[in-house]
């Protein structure tokens, strides 16, 4: 909130990098200490990022850019999360770990060099003729040990499918 809110009457609240877990109803109330002068209800709905891949494309990039200089011992894991979770790509101990990937994704993924220094955790997925099997929800998590440092969810939609999958699913 702005420091001069009482002078300007602007009681806006800014949330930096909101996540789906922050989707909810919020109430702003203004009081003079004795009574509420004004109440405003706001509904916040945070959606997944939608990435579309067109038929015939060789690859698609699942974007994730965050602050750089992540810890050298951080682990980056990309997972496909529908209907069950599968490891798409794992980066730990300073290198890719193809033996920890689901075999469906082996040889089909890549990440940038120096990803922990630059904060560009984007994943390139080779899709050559995308299928419904690649469409769905993807999650990237950055961890140091058991501590979660960053997380991003996004939804990949291929155009070859006959039915568009929903952007948001209630769990």
Per-residue pLDDT of the chain (171 residues; tens, 9 = 90+): 778 877 887 877 777 666 667 778 888 888 888 888 777 888 776 666 778 877 778 889 999 999 888 999 999 999 998 778 999 999 999 999 999 999 999 999 999 989 999 999 999 999 865 555 788 899 999 999 999 999 998 988 875 544 443 333 333
Please provide the size of the chain in residues. Answer: 171
* 32 shares a domain with 82: no
Full-model pTM? 0.67
Q: Is residue 99 part of a domain?
A: yes
Q: Is residue 169 part of a domain?
A: no
Question: For residue 97, what is the domain's CATH number?
Answer: 2.60.40.10
* 138 shares a domain with 116: yes
Q: Is residue 19 part of a domain?
A: yes
Q: Is residue 167 part of a domain?
A: no
Question: What's the domain count of the chain?
Answer: 2
Q: Is residue 16 part of a domain?
A: yes
* 120 shares a domain with 53: yes
Reported as half-sphere exposure (CB side, CA atoms, 13 A), residue 138 has a value of 27
Q: Is residue 151 part of a domain?
A: yes
Nearest to 62 by CA among 127, 161, 156: 156
pLDDT for the residue 22 = 75
What is the span of the domain harbouring residue 33?
A: 5-44
Pairing outcome for strands 147-158 and 49-53: parallel
**Residues in contact with 3: Cβ distance below 8 Å, sequence separation at least 6, in sequence order:** none
* 142 shares a domain with 58: yes
Q: Is residue 11 part of a domain?
A: yes
């Amino acid at each position: 909130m702005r420091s001069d809110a009482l002078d300007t009457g602007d009681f806006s609240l800014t949330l930096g990098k909101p996540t789906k877990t922050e989707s909810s109803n919020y109430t702003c109330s203004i009081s003079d200490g004795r009574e509420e002068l004004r109440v405003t209800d706001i509904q916040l709905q945070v959606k997944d990022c939608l990435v579309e891949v067109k038929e015939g494309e060789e690859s698609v990039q699942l974007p994730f850019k965050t602050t750089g200089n992540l810890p050298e011992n951080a682990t980056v894991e990309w997972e496909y999360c529908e209907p069950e979770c599968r490891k798409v790509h794992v980066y730990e101990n300073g290198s890719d770990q193809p033996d920890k990937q689901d075999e469906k994704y082996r040889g089909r993924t890549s990440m940038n060099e120096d990803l922990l220094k630059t904060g560009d955790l984007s994943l390139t997925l080779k899709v050559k003729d995308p299928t419904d099997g690649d469409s769905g929800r993807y999650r990237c998590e950055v961890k140091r040990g058991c501590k979660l440092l960053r997380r991003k969810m996004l939804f990949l939609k291929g155009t070859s499918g006959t039915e568009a999958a929903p952007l948001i699913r209630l769990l």
